[in-house]
Each structure stands twice: as C-alpha cells, then as structure tokens.
Structure 1
Amino acid sequence: ELTPEGLKRDAEVDRSRSIASRTGQRMNVMIGVLLVLALTYLVLDRFVLAPSRSAVPQVAGPASETTDATPVAAKAASPIAAKSIAVLPFENLSADRDNDYFASGMQDMILTKLVGIGDLKVISRTSTQKYTSRPDNLRTVAQELGVATILEGSVQKSGNAVLINVQLIDAASDSHLWAEAYQRTLDNLFGVEGEVAQKIADALKAKLTSAESLSVARVATRNPAAYDAFLKAEYQYEQARESWNTEDYRNAEAGYREAIALDPDYALAYARLAYGMLTRHWFSTGLSDEEMASAKAAIERALALEPDLPEAHLAQGFYDYWGFRRYDAATVQFERTLALAPNNVQAINGLGYIARRTGKVEQALDYFQKALTLSPREAETTSSLGETYAMLRRYAKADQYLSRALAIAPDDANSKDLLLQVRLFGSGDSTAAREILRQPPDWRFDAMRRWGGDVYFVVNPRVYPDLMDRRFDAAVRAWDAAPVATDEDRLAARVARVVIRIVAGDAAPPVAECRELDAQVRDGLRSQPESLGLLQLASWIDVCLGRRAEAVATAEKAVALLPLSKDGYFGTNQLSGLAQIAAHAGATDRALEVIRQLLTMPAGTLMSIGRLERDPVWDPLRQDPRFQALLKPGSQETEDAAHG
C-alpha cells in the first residue's frame, strides 16, 4: 500500500494511517515523489529488511513447504547454476484489485524475454505462481526452484500512470544484485520488459547472441490499448488453463482478438490466439473446420510479421500435433522454438508428448524430466511424468508424481482423472481413489464425449469407483444427479446409465430406450462420421439392441480411425474399447486377442492385470480358461506391471 512513508506491504501498515482511499486520486500527482521514495525503499530493503528476512525460518505459503510435493529435482543436492533465475509473481500495489492482470502481465512479459536467453536457466511462470511476491525465506524458495537468483517486483497503476519496481536478489546471500524503479505512463511503457531482461542478463554476466539481443529489444506493440487487452487475455488464459473450461478459453480468445483489432500487426497476439484455440481443441471442445482454419491463419500472420517469433513456431507445432497428429512436422517446429527460446517448457513437453505417441516412452520420460528442471512446480509437467510412468505400469511412481501434481494444483481435473485410473486399475484401491473425488466433482463432459474408446470414459471417472465396487445402483444415481445442461450432456447421461446396466449384467436391457438413443446417435454420426465419442456410444447401443456384429464393427472402425501407427498413446484407448465391446458381443476370441496385445504394450493407464481381475466390464470373459491364464503371474503383461 502507498503510505505517507512510501510503499509498504499491507501487513506493515497501521490502518489508522492508511491512505488507500485517496491513492487513486493522487497517483498522477505523486508519481514523481513515489519514484524517489521507491528507490529509498529499495535501499532500506537491502540493508534493513534483507537480514530479517534471512532470519525467518518458516516459508510463506503452502507452495513453499518442503513436502512430498516438492519435486525430486528440487530436493537433489545437484549444484545450482549461477546464471539461473526465477521471476516471482509481481505484487499489485494499486488500490484497484482489478489491476491484478496488469501486475501478472508485467511478470509474464519479462519472463517471455528471459526465456529466449540461452545462457540463462529460467524457471517457468507456472512453477512460481503459487509463491508470494515477497516470500520470507528466499533461500528456501530458490532451493525448491533450483535457482541462484530471484527477481521480485511490484506494480502500481492508477489511471495512465504506472510505477514498476524490480529487484534481482542473490538467494544465497539475500543481497541485491540490481534494482530499479520505472516510472512510466501507458503511452511509453513499451519496451520495459526488454530493458529489465537486458539488465538481468548484464547482472548475471549472461552472454547474448546478436539474435537474442534483437529479440530482447524488440517491442511487440506500441498501441497501449492493444497491449492492455493482450495482458487481460493472458490473465484469462491462465484461468482457462487451470479450469479447462470452454467458456474460459473463449473469453481469452476474445481478448486476443480485441488486441489484434486494435493493432493488426501484433504478431504475439496472433500467436497466442492460435495457441489458446488449439489448447481448447485438445483439452476441451474440438475446433470446427472453420476455427481450425482461423487458428492456422493467425499462425501464418504471426510468422509473416515476425518469422523468428518463438510463440508462433510453438503454435505451429501444436497445430501440426494437436490438429492433425503430424508428428514429424510438429517436431521440427518444437525444435525451432527451442533454438529461438531455449527455456521454453511447452516445446520440451511437446517433444515428450510426441515421443510418447510414437512409442518412445522411455525417451518421453527424459523430455519430461528435462522440462521439470525448468518447471519444478508445474502441475502439467509433473502430471505428464506420472501419466507416463502409469503407461509403463510403474504405478507407485505414477501415484507419487500425480499426487505431487495435485499438491501443486489441487483443482487440476486431468491429474485427478489420471490418479483415479492409477489407483483403480493399478493398485485396485477404490477407497484411495475415492479420496480424489472428495471435492465437488468436475464431470468434464466435453472431454469425455470426445475421447471414446474405453468404457471408463462413457461411464465417467466420477462414477467409475462405484462400477469397480459393483455398486451399480449408486453409479446410476450419481448420473441422475449429474449437472447435465445441454442436449449432448443429456445424451451422455442416458447412454451411461444404459452401459452401467449392461456391465451389471441386467437380464432385461432397456431396449425401448436404446432404440430412441440409437436414432439420436445415428443422426449425430451422419454429420460427424469420424467422432470417436459417438462411435463409442453407437457400439454400446448396438450391444443393448443385440446387434453384436454391428457393435464389433463399429468399435473396429474407431480403431481404424486412430490406429497405433497414428497414435501409439491414445490408440490404445480405442483398442481397449474394442476389447470390451467384443467381450459383451460374444466375440471372445477377438477380445482376448486385443487384451493380450495391450498387456504387452505401454498401455497401463487402462489395461492391467489388476483391472482385469476386478472390473466387472470383463465379466463376460471371466470363466474362460484363456482369460484366467492372463491373470496368473508370468502372463504376458510387461515386466513393469507389478513393480511400481
């Protein structure tokens, strides 16, 4: 807060002397005085506050606690590079809390510049966001993040006036390496992030190539309204990234489009718009052909404006990967991104995802471990490691990393679903699995109906523990209470209840309802003939109606649409779904053939001996001696299966 003595944290202010209510009115007048006071404050912080900060033993906030959630990379005693830095969240000192986006955006823009400096190790934004702006024990924070230096900052914005304070701190000695205050207006704010990045590089004696120097100095836009709209869009995107909610993604996209409308030459806004759309496509609601074309056009415009823009090459890589599974083309773009921005975690993760989908699962682990050194407290990378260990049926390791991901981001829906699978299908512990669902459940209807394949996705992770425990009535009741809001949601709920009854072995399946559902699903397939989700529903409805050959043929079509040669990761999901349909359609030989195949592959998220033993979906095969042989020790399951 702004006080008569200068800038102070709220906790230091005597409330009787607070002048927050007058700050907004006087900001433009006092900004010059504030600059002097801010510099004085930095000196005081260096010689007065720093020693007291070192003396405080506790760590501020849960994100700083050394628990099992602390990444292995942070716990290891490996030497810390001198030219390494983490940028902590910038503190919003404005009276208006609506300016949080601006403080967040300044941190993000500085990071964007630093990531492109190859001589530095730069920790990703997602690993620093859970920390306070000014943690009490800076040394502990630096150790957790694996860095030698920390950048702290604050932003005070009122009207057109902006005051930005930054200080680079050596974590071992808690001493300042460099500090500066920037007094600007919105009209001449452009380039501050580049100035800060260059000063940091100078302080750390980092050597920049000529291309890196040009990139650091480049100004993305000189339109203040466009810049403001962009920062708001980035803030909204971060919210979408945590919620995986379609509307949150769309809100961010609208912000990027506003920035582009204000500055048609804003290359970074085009690149981020495309990346946001592609993220929505992969994790939430699939893009239409028109939307995919729009994303491609945005990438092309960004590259036309700035051919060496790392964010544009990153977006192109995910366009090839998420849009069309063109792995070779995507790999080229991710490698180009890393050539331009060596600390770009998304590009490293992208290479890991591709390695996983092309069957190079051990190589994928190497990529994710590398990403974890740059993002030790990021849920996505930590979760990806856990998921990859689950694929290899190293379930104890998978549980460790997925639990860690949820300690970092407790609301991360994807990590919840993956940990649920590990505990249900790996350890067979439905009680431990239910612990994950204590919070109000996120049904993720959009994602579930797109994936198809395994019955796990049509029944829904929120309900599957009841199915595994043969509490079929409870599973149906859960769907009765599900928050369905659209026609698609209602269709999913109705089919799920039918499938639960089929798996339960009900003697009289709801044939009349299945005929009605059949008409709806077939109508959907006429307009979306390659929808994996609709093909999944159609195959189960065929089983309900006694159309056994058609059921297997429909499941085989889904496998043909996403063969292992096209997707060695999610193609296993379609194979698992085929085995389940074949089992319930009386095609026992085909079911057993596919199960044997999956047991010899890195398909542990869905196929394991533990699941075969317990899951009622396999009951039609349970009395077959060939199936029973698969459950014995030394069967064809890969060697990692029972070893955690």
Structure 2
Amino acid sequence: MFAIQSEIAKTIADQLQAKLSPREENAIRRSPTSDISAFDLYTRAKNILLTSSSGGKADTLQAVDLLNQAVARDPSFFDAYCQLAFAHDALYFFGYDHTSARLALAEAALQAASRLRPDAGETHLARGQNLYWAYGDYDGALAEVEVARQTLPNDARTFDLMGLIQRRQGHWEESTRNLERAVELNPHDIDTLLLGVAGNYSLLRRYAEANQWSARALVFEPNNAFTKVWLAYMDFASKADTRPLHQTIDSIRAKNPAAAGPEIAHFWIICALAERDAAAARDALIAFGEEPINFAPNNFRFNRPFAEGVIARMTKDDGKARSAFTTARAEQEKIVQAQPNFGPALCALGLIDAGLGRKEEALREGRRAVELLPVEKDSMNGAVMVEYLAVIAAWVGDKDLACEQLASVIRRPSSLSYGRLKLLPFWDPLRGDPRFEKLVEESKQPFALK
C-alpha cells in the first residue's frame, strides 16, 4: 500500500514538473511503518485530532490510547510519536491535565521522535508545538518552526503554528498574514479557516471579514454543524442578536441530533443564558456529556456545578445557587491544590468564591490568576483572565474595579464582544452604571490591524 502511495506522489510531482529535493524524494519513498495495523491505529487517532475542533478531553484521550497502541506495535513509528506528543501537549494546554506528569509523557514522545529522525522538519515542528503549548516559550517555539521551514518550505503547518504563536504575543498583523498563508497552502483546513483566520478577525471585532472567511469553510463542508453555529455566533457577538444562533442550534438538533455535542454546547449555553432560558441552559449542560463546561469561544473550562450555579443565580434561586457553588468549590479546590500555578484553575475558584459571597478570597484569587497569566504573556487567555476578574469584582460589588478591568479588555483584541456584554447575566450587577453602559457601546467598535 505504501509503495503505491509513494508511486502516486512521484507521478504527480513529475506531471507538475516539480523539482524535488533529495530530502523530498526520500520523504516520498519512505514508508511510515511496515505494520498495517499500527498505521490503522495511527490514522484513526490522527482523524480524531484533526476533526475535534473543541479539543475535547475524551476524544484526545482516545487518540492517545490509539497512538500508544501504534508505537507499541512499531517502536520506530516516527509520525505516531509526533502525533502522540501533540495529543499530550493538547491535554496540558487546554487544561484537561495541566500536570507535570502529562508534560513528562509529551517529552517522552518527543524524545522518541528525535531519536528516530533528529533533523526532520516534523521533529522541529513537534518541538515548536511543545514549547508553545507546554511552556509558553514563544521565541523558542518560533525558532523551532523556522528550522522546520528549511525542510518544509511550503508546509501549511509551519505558517499555521507561526500565526497561532504570534497572536499569543499580540502580533495580530503578522499572525493574520501567516494564518491566511496557511489557508492558501491548505484551503480545506477548516480549523485554520475558522479558529485561525476568522477567529483572528472576530477577536479584532472585524465581523464582516470573519464572516467572509467562515463562509469559505461552508463551501468545502456545507453541512458542517460547527461552521454553521460559528457563523450564527458572529451575529450574536456583533449585534447582540440571538435569533440566528438559536435557530441554527434548533435546526442541528432536529436534523442531526448526534452533531449537537460538546462542540455545539459551547455556543448553546451562551445562547440560552443570553435569552435567560434556564431550561435550555440545562439542556446544553446535558449536551456537554462528560466534558468540562466552556462558555465559548475561549479555552477556559469550568465544572458542571459552577455552570448550574450560574443558571440558578440567573433565575435568582439563591439557595440552589449557593448549593451548586459550594459543590463546585470542593471540586475546584482539589484542582487548584494539584495545579497551584495554573491561572485558569485559580480564576475559576475566584468566580466560585464570588458566587458564594467570599469577597476577599475571590478578589485575591482573581488578581493572582491575572498575575500568573498576564496579557503580556498570553494576549488571548490573559485577556480572558482580566475579563473574569471583572466578573468577580462585579459579583462581589466592587463596581470600580469591575469597570476598570473591563475597560482594559475592551480596548484590546479579545473574545469579549458587544453581544456578551449586552446580554449575558454575568454582567447584570453592572447594568445601569453609566461607565458600564459606555463600555458596552465601545465594544461595538472594530480594531485595525497594527
């Protein structure tokens, strides 16, 4: 089978009159593994990682299991080790397992890949991904990508990774340019189209451009549920209009209920909260399954009792809210004890304490979370951290601090939008305050790339 693939690739290159370097010719001739079963396990894992837009915990753990089986069958399976490192890094980066043990597993996979092919572009690309996701070492990651580009000059993955790193640095123009280049090289990459290029434009509140890029994804996959919901979410974000999002989610649930899983639930719960529909919000929680709760579109994860507390708080059921937040606190405290320097986990504890009226603890935890992951370190998650500090301040009655923090987020690219400020119950304690209402109006304005 692999010989046939190599022959096809060589024939295509000849027909295109493409001049291949010796390294490229070797790459075409090299079979990834001699074990067909190992290759099947690898392919299944790779498809899971490629098609999971939300980076779900269960899917990623399944991919890890498949890849471990693949390398057990063939310990020289280089590509499988690269994918295994990626999967471990994803579990760490997205907060599912932000522990030193997970980092060690990623490092072991990287070391195995490096022993097999130390000079391969894919090895440097995997190391770059690891430095970015596991350590936040953006300069080191970019240096590895630059080395990878020497042997992978027209590989979309190098431009994609550069763009993702650069937006963490707050270099939005360079990031957008590299992500657009990645799409030029691989037009069918839905994740880069939506979460990369369109994602950048949405964070810049340039929704017309975000919609143009998002619409391109529908050309390739017209029935892609995530793409449809993403496009509808742009109307919510830019116009505070829940109707397109509500209708799109209803349509997906009616026509393809299996598609209304965690990827869609992220947006469903936001829509339900914006419409003050407690029943729909609880239905969205069910759709998350065993996955942590994510109030889209950011990577912060919350436990289910916290979300239940938010719903009860919205409906002014103080007793149920306190009970839910108390349960949430017991769960979250364990995570913080295991990961004391993980900003998002501490931020979630601060929100829970704010819901319980523990003002001093909540503000201390929220401020510490911002210190652990400042905007200067991570332009995206750092901004979300400041946003949630503003929520904490609002919930404990410190309107001055809430408006101060909100102003700092509104004046930089972030996922905080007009729709979220206008409609979500998180901000109810600030409604009617002239400073807050002014910030809501300011959130309509787009950013220029600079």
TM-score (norm 2): 0.84
Equivalent residues in 2 for 1:77-156 (5 A)?
none
1:569 maps to 380
For residue 443 of structure 1, the aligned residue among 254, 258, 262 is: 262
Higher strand share: 1
For residue 238 of structure 1, the aligned residue among 47, 62, 65 is: 47
Q: Contact between 1:246 and 1:284, CA under 8 Å: does it hold in 2?
A: no
Matched, 1:640 2:450: no
Matched, 1:272 2:83: yes
For residue 628 of structure 1, the aligned residue among 416, 434, 437 is: 437
DSSP-derived class of the 1:602 partner: coil
Equivalent residues in 2 for 1:292-331 (5 A)?
292-331=103-142
2:416 maps to 606
Matched, 1:198 2:4: no
Q: Distance in 1 between matches of 2:229 and 2:405?
A: 24
Offset of 1:197 from its aligned partner? 3.0
Q: Contact between 2:91 and 2:97, CA under 8 Å: does it hold in 1?
A: yes
Equivalent residues in 2 for 1:200-239 (5 A)?
200-221=12-33, 224=34, 226-239=35-48
Residues 390/479 of structure 1: CA separation in 2 closer, same or farther (3 Å cut): closer
For residue 594 of structure 1, the aligned residue among 370, 383, 405 is: 405
Offset of 1:601 from its aligned partner? 0.6
Q: Contact between 2:85 and 2:109, CA under 8 Å: does it hold in 1?
A: yes
Q: Distance in 2 between matches of 1:308 and 1:486?
A: 38
Equivalent residues in 2 for 1:371-450 (5 A)?
371-383=182-194, 384-405=196-217, 408-409=220-221, 415=227, 418-419=230-231, 421-438=233-250, 439=252, 440=257, 441-443=260-262
Q: Distance in 1 between matches of 2:446 and 2:422?
A: 18
2:97 maps to 286
Q: Distance in 2 between matches of 1:435 and 1:293?
A: 45
Amino acid at match of 1:615: L
For residue 468 of structure 1, the aligned residue among 274, 299, 303 is: 274
Which deviates more from structure 2 when the two are superposed, residues 409-418 or residues 397-406?
409-418
Q: Distance in 1 between matches of 2:334 and 2:375?
A: 28
Offset of 1:248 from its aligned partner? 4.0
Amino acid at match of 1:355: Q
Q: Contact between 2:238 and 2:444, CA under 8 Å: does it hold in 1?
A: no
DSSP-derived class of the 1:359 partner: coil
Residues 310/365 of structure 1: CA separation in 2 closer, same or farther (3 Å cut): same
Q: Contact between 1:233 and 1:251, CA under 8 Å: does it hold in 2?
A: no
Q: Distance in 1 between matches of 2:91 and 2:346?
A: 22
Offset of 1:238 from its aligned partner? 0.7
Offset of 1:255 from its aligned partner? 3.8
- Give the number of aligned pairs: 431
Q: RMSD value over aligned CA atoms?
A: 3.2
Offset of 1:379 from its aligned partner? 0.7
DSSP-derived class of the 1:208 partner: coil
DSSP-derived class of the 2:262 partner: coil
Structure 1 gaps of 5+ residues are: 1-188, 449-459
Offset of 1:366 from its aligned partner? 0.8
Q: Percent of aligned positions with the same letter in both sequences?
A: 30
For residue 619 of structure 1, the aligned residue among 411, 428, 439 is: 428
Q: Distance in 1 between matches of 2:77 and 2:438?
A: 62
Residues 544/523 of structure 1: CA separation in 2 closer, same or farther (3 Å cut): same
Q: Contact between 2:232 and 2:248, CA under 8 Å: does it hold in 1?
A: yes
Q: Contact between 1:443 and 1:462, CA under 8 Å: does it hold in 2?
A: no
Matched, 1:352 2:163: yes
Which digits, 9 at most, give the CA deviation of each residue in 1:34-80, with x for residues without a partner? xxxxxxxxxxxxxxxxxxxxxxxxxxxxxxxxxxxxxxxxxxxxxxx
Equivalent residues in 2 for 1:2-81 (5 A)?
none
Offset of 1:318 from its aligned partner? 0.8
Amino acid at match of 1:205: Q
Matched, 1:478 2:290: no
Q: Contact between 2:353 and 2:359, CA under 8 Å: does it hold in 1?
A: yes
Which deviates more from structure 2 when the two are superposed, residues 419-428 or residues 592-601?
419-428
Q: Distance in 2 between matches of 1:220 and 1:425?
A: 44
Residues 536/417 of structure 1: CA separation in 2 closer, same or farther (3 Å cut): farther
DSSP-derived class of the 2:303 partner: helix
TM-score (norm 1): 0.60
Q: Contact between 1:355 and 1:364, CA under 8 Å: does it hold in 2?
A: yes
Equivalent residues in 2 for 1:171-186 (5 A)?
none
Q: Contact between 1:242 and 1:411, CA under 8 Å: does it hold in 2?
A: no
Q: Distance in 2 between matches of 1:350 and 1:332?
A: 12
Matched, 1:336 2:147: yes
Which digits, 9 at most, give the CA deviation of each residue in 1:302-361, with x for residues without a partner? 222222222222211111111111111111222222221223222211001011111111
Q: Distance in 1 between matches of 2:340 and 2:230?
A: 29
Offset of 1:200 from its aligned partner? 2.8
Offset of 1:278 from its aligned partner? 2.9
Q: Distance in 2 between matches of 1:481 and 1:235?
A: 27
Q: Contact between 1:270 and 1:302, CA under 8 Å: does it hold in 2?
A: yes
Offset of 1:567 from its aligned partner? 0.6
Residues 201/521 of structure 1: CA separation in 2 closer, same or farther (3 Å cut): closer
Q: Contact between 2:218 and 2:227, CA under 8 Å: does it hold in 1?
A: yes
Q: Distance in 1 between matches of 2:130 and 2:342?
A: 19
Q: Distance in 1 between matches of 2:218 and 2:343?
A: 29
Q: Contact between 2:156 and 2:186, CA under 8 Å: does it hold in 1?
A: yes
Offset of 1:576 from its aligned partner? 0.9
Offset of 1:570 from its aligned partner? 1.8
Q: Contact between 2:355 and 2:395, CA under 8 Å: does it hold in 1?
A: no
Offset of 1:365 from its aligned partner? 1.4
Structure 2 gaps of 5+ residues are: 295-301
Q: Contact between 1:356 and 1:568, CA under 8 Å: does it hold in 2?
A: yes
Q: Contact between 2:67 and 2:83, CA under 8 Å: does it hold in 1?
A: yes
Residues 483/606 of structure 1: CA separation in 2 closer, same or farther (3 Å cut): closer
